[in-house]
Amino acid sequence: MPDLGLAWLLDKSVVRRAAEGISASLAAAPLTVEQSLALRLLRRGAQTSALVLITPETANILLHRAQLLAVRLLLNDVTPIRRGRYFSRWARRLRESGFTREDALVLSYGTFGLSSNGLILGVSAVVTFDRPMIHNFEAQQAKVFRRLTAMAAQLPSPYSDAALPRVLTPDDLLATKR
């Protein structure tokens, strides 16, 4: 299995299922498969000291619901990523390659996002339950890789080292050895 590193960006579908799973666990209710996977992913992140990131947009939504215990517990396990230089340019190019606005933003965070301390550029994996996004990424990956390579060659360090993240389901990420 490939080494996926220790920085994962969760899209809103995974965050939503994790919050629902925490709520269900607190109420001793049964979990759906997706809720269980999202919670297992958070647990794996804590066990491996992975940096588990969310977009600022998702963080903003969660902060408006911080009165809920499940949301507060979830916020303890995730960190918002921030826009790095060239984020907007890359998101625009992803849109030109056929990605939805939301998918382009998530992928741009995964490529040109910065950890809160600014020491990590991009992530090793974007984790989503959004199968159409995964399929589109797989279909466009070679083209997008070429565009990123051409763009990054013209950028100063550390942005010249930007790399495409993997786009995986929680189940796929959990199946990797780490």
What residues contact residue 105 under an 8 Å CB cut-off, 6+ apart?
Answer: 55, 57, 91
Q: Measure the CA–CA gap between 115 and 80, rounded to whole angstroms.
A: 8
| Residues 24-56: tens digit of each pLDDT | 999 999 999 999 999 999 999 999 889 999 999
Whether the per-residue pLDDT at 177 is higher than 90: the answer is no
| Residues 50-107: tens digit of each pLDDT | 999 999 999 999 999 999 999 999 999 999 999 999 999 999 999 999 999 999 999 9
Cα-based angle 8, 109, 135 (whole degrees, multiple of 5): 75
Q: How far is CA 148 from CA 29, 95, 113, 135, in A?
A: 45, 13, 14, 19
Domains along the chain with CATH numbers: 7-175 (3.40.50)
pLDDT, averaged across the chain: 93
C-alpha torsion sign, points 86, 162, 91, 3: negative
Q: Measure the CA–CA gap between 169 and 38, rounded to whole angstroms.
A: 10
